[in-house]
Amino acid sequence: MTQAPPAPKRQGRNPRQLVLRILWYAVLILLTVIFVAPLLWMLSTSFKTRSGATQFPLTWIPREFSTEGFTTIFNTTTQTPVLRWFVNSMIAASGHTLLVLVTASLAGYALARMRFPGRNLAFAVIVGTLFIPQFVFLMPNYLIVDYFGWLDTLLAVLVPGAAGAFGVFFLRQFFLSLPKELEEAALIDGANRLQIFLRVILPLSKPPLATLAVLSFLTNWNDFLWPVYVLISPESQTLPPGLATLQGAYSTYYPVIMAGGVLASVPVLIIFFIAQQYIIEGVSRSGLKG
C-alpha cells in the first residue's frame, strides 16, 4: 500500500480533534458491527437448541448451550450428509485449484515467452471469452458434461470451471514482467524450456501463483448455481447446493441450518485471514473475478 492523502485525524490534543477522533472511530466500529454481527449471529445460533434459537427475547449468548445442530448435520445416515458435502467441496475445490495452476501457468508461460504461429490469435480469443457471461454456458456445458457421463459426479464441478481464461491472462501478465536474462542464462547452461519453466520461472512466481490458487479455491468452494443443477443425489453434493437442501429439509430448525453455514464459512474465513493480502491484491489488481 502506497501513500494515502494527508491524514485528517492525527493524535488529537485539543477537544475538537478529540471529538472528531471519537466520531471517526464510532463510524468505523458501527460499520464493523454491521459486517460482522450477522456472522456472529450465525455462529451463536448454531450452538442453540431448536427452541432456544427462536425464543424471545433473542440472546447473543445461547441460554442453553447445545451442539444438536452440529450432531444433526454430522449424522451421515440422513438425506443431508453434510460432512460428506464438506469432503466433496474440499476435493472439488482442491482439484480445481490444482488443475487451474498447472494448465494456466503452462499456457500463460507459452503466451508470454514463446513465439509461435497463432499465438496472438490464441491470446485474443482466450481473453475475448472473458467477456461472455457465464450463464451462456449453462445449457451447452450441461449437455457436454452429461456426454462425458460426469453429471452427478464431482468432475462436473471440478473441471469445466478450470477452462476460464482468467488464470491464463493473470499469469501471462506476470510472466511478461520477469526479466528475460534469467531464462537466457539457464538456456546457455543447456536447460530446456520445461526445465527453465519448472526451475527458474515457477520459483519466481510464488506470489501470483498463491493469489490465483486462493481465488480459484474460493470461487470453486462458493460456486452455487452450477452445482445446484449438475449435482443431483444427496451424497454427491457440495456445500453450497447442500445448504439449499438443508434449508428445504429443516426449514425452521435454525441451529441445523446455521451449523451448515458455519461449516461452509470456516474454511474460507481461515483462508481469508491467512492469505488476506493475496486475495485483496488479486481482487484489486484484476477486478475481473466475481
Residues 158-197 within binding reach of another protein (CB under 8 A): 159-160, 162-165, 168, 174, 176-181, 183-184, 187, 192-193, 197
> Rule CB under 8 A: is residue 280 a binding residue for another protein?
yes
Q: Tell me how far, at minimum, the Cβ of 232 lies from another protein, in Å.
A: 10
Question: Per rule CB under 8 A, is residue 69 in the interface with another protein?
Answer: no
With beta carbons less than 8 A apart as the criterion, state whether 237 and 78 touch. Answer: no
| 51 binds another protein per the rule CB under 8 A | no
* CA dist., res. 248 & res. 80, Å (int): 10
| Candidate list 73, 82, 101, 110; residue touching another protein; CB under 8 A | 110
Q: Does 261 bind another protein (CB under 8 A)?
A: yes
Exactly one of 68, 222, 234, 249 binds another protein (CB under 8 A); that residue is 222
Radius of gyration of the chain from its Cα atoms, rounded to whole angstroms:
24
Please, which residue, 65 or 224, has the CB nearer to another protein? Answer: 224
Tell me which stretch binds another protein (CB under 8 A): 12-20, 26-34, 65-73, 76-84: 26-34
Interaction between residue 212 and another protein (CB under 8 A): no
Q: How would you class 276 by CB atoms within 10 Å of its CB: exposed for 0-12, middle for 13-18, buried for 19 or more?
A: exposed
Among the listed residues 26, 129, 149, 274, the single contact to another protein using CB under 8 A: 129
> Whole-angstrom Cα distance, residue 176 to residue 196?
15
Euclidean distance between the first and final Cα of the chain, in Å? 23
Stretch that binds another protein, among 12-20, 69-77, 111-119 (CB under 8 A): 111-119
* Ramachandran quadrant class, 89 (left: phi over 0; alpha: psi -120 to 50; beta: rest): alpha
The Cβ of residue 68 has, within 10 Å, a number of other Cβ atoms equal to 17
Query: Which single residue is written with the C-alpha cell 474460507?
Result: 268
- Whether 282 contacts 264, CB under 8 Å: no
Q: Site size for another protein, by CB under 8 A?
A: 121
Q: Considering beta carbons, is residue 63 or 285 the nearer one to another protein?
A: 285
Q: Which of residues 79-108 bind another protein (CB under 8 A)?
A: 99, 102-104, 106-107
Distance CA 106, CA 244 (A): 37
